[in-house]
Amino acid sequence: MNHNEKYLPYKFRYMGTEWTIRFGKVGRDERGLKYLGRTIWGKQEIRINSKLEGTSMYKTIWHEIIHIILGEHSDTQVIGTEELICRLSSGISHALDENPWLQQKIVKGEICP
């Protein structure tokens, strides 16, 4: 077991689907650079590069969560570029970190029309 795993809840739930967060091999992109994380759509798995820890690990988890929220590989897909996803995941992470009051439960529902 990776030493990071004991600090994670292992599961991410979103819109009725449960995703498992695991550490392991994530593969390389077309330039040969190792991914930090991957969303494995068929398995409902968020896989995180096992070398990551701390802030980089949480930023990567948020990054993959944004991919899931945008719904790639589903019939409700919203197109998101990697740059947009990086900006959103990093921004949400900073906003929650700097505004703990935002972490309180809000009423379920859509914020945007």
Task: Catalog residues that contact Zn ion under the rule CB under 5 A.
Answer: 82
User: Which residue's CB is nearer to Zn ion, number 23 or number 68?
Assistant: 68
User: Which residue's CB is nearer to Zn ion, number 8 or number 70?
Assistant: 70
DSSP class per residue in 5-16: GGGS-SEEEETT
Question: Shortest approach of Zn ion to residue 96 CB, angstroms?
Answer: 19
Question: Shortest approach of Zn ion to residue 53 CB, angstroms?
Answer: 19
User: Which residue's CB is nearer to Zn ion, number 1 or number 79?
Assistant: 79
- Separation of alpha carbons 113 and 3, rounded Å: 42
> Which DSSP category does 28 fall into?
B
- Separation of alpha carbons 48 and 53, rounded Å: 10
Copy the structure tokens of residue 30.
Answer: 């077309």
Strand segments, DSSP code E, in 8-96 are: 11-14, 17-24, 37-40, 45-49
Question: Shortest approach of Zn ion to residue 67 CB, angstroms?
Answer: 6
Beta strands 17-24 and 45-49 are: parallel
Question: Shortest approach of Zn ion to residue 82 CB, angstroms?
Answer: 5
User: Which residue's CB is nearer to Zn ion, number 23 or number 37?
Assistant: 37
